[in-house]
């Protein structure tokens, strides 16, 4: 028997296979690029919507005229509570004593001035009360005598002084 020898010859691929692969790759690239840009735009719009919702929630509702008046009143009340009333009352408490007494007191918070009327038996007691007021007040407070009157009624004499304090 005779042996067969088979010599296989590889046939070349057709030319259109390379072009088809290149065309399919280009189409796949374009489709994936379009999908990528759509996803990026969707993410941007979602982030913008979330940011807008957050800003709207932080901004709060638009205040009406009544709300503005109420807020202004509350701001004035807070300013009144934050005012250094303790310093004012410490000075008043220091003024009173056995030699002088506080007859009247008024305070203008906006001008930061206090008006005190002191009475005592003599000028020295008024001066001592004023000295005590200055010591009890903070360093930025200035006390001064605005007017002094001396009243004699029988055996008793009364010195009345109007004192002004600036805070």
Separation CA 157–CA 104 (nearest Å): 19
Furthest C-alpha separation in the chain: 169
Q: Give how many domains the chain has, as a whole number.
A: 2
Whether residue 79 lies inside any domain: the answer is no
The pLDDT score that the predictor gives to residue 109 is 79
Summarised one tens digit per residue, pLDDT across range 97-148 is 788 888 999 988 778 888 999 999 999 999 999 999 888 888 888 888 899 9
| Shared-domain flag, residues 98 and 151 | yes
pLDDT at 79 (0 to 100): 78
- pLDDT for position 138: 84
**Pair (95, 149) in one structural domain:** yes
Question: Is 64 domain-assigned?
Answer: no
Could you tell me the pTM of the whole model? 0.52
Task: State how far the alpha carbon of 167 is from the alpha carbons of 77, 83, 93, 94, 115, in Å.
Answer: 19, 11, 16, 16, 12
- Chain position carrying tokens 């379009």: 34
Distance CA 107, CA 163 (A): 12
Q: Sorting pLDDT into bands at 50, 70 and 90, what band is 41? A: very high
Quick one: 113 and 156 in the same domain?
Answer: yes
Its sign, for the CA torsion 27, 29, 30, 35, is positive
> pLDDT tier at 53 (50, 70, 90 boundaries)?
very high
The average pLDDT across 86-105 equals 86
- Tell me what pLDDT residue 82 has: 75
Domain of residue 95: give its range: 84-166
Q: 25-39: buried (b, 16+ CB within 10 Å) or exposed (e) per residue?
A: eeeeeeeeeeeeeee
CATH code at position 94: 3.30.1360.100
Q: Is 160 helix (H, G, I), strand (E, B) or coil?
A: strand
């Amino acid at each position: 028997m005779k042996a067969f020898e088979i010599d296989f010859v590889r046939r070349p691929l057709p030319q259109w296979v390379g072009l088809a692969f290149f065309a399919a790759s280009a189409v796949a690239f374009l489709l994936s690029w379009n999908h990528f840009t759509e996803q990026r735009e969707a993410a941007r719009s979602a982030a913008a919507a979330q940011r807008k919702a957050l800003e709207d929630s932080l901004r709060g509702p638009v205040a009406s005229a009544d709300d503005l008046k109420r807020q202004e009143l509350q701001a004035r009340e807070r300013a009144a509570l934050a005012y250094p009333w303790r310093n004012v009352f410490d000075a008043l408490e220091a003024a009173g004593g056995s030699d002088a007494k506080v007859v009247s007191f008024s305070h203008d918070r906006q001008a930061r001035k206090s008006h005190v009327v002191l009475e005592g038996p003599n000028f020295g007691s008024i001066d001592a009360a004023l000295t005590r007021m200055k010591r009890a007040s903070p360093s930025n407070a200035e006390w001064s005598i605005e007017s002094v009157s001396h009243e004699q009624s029988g055996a008793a004499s009364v010195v009345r002084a109007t004192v002004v304090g600036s805070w």
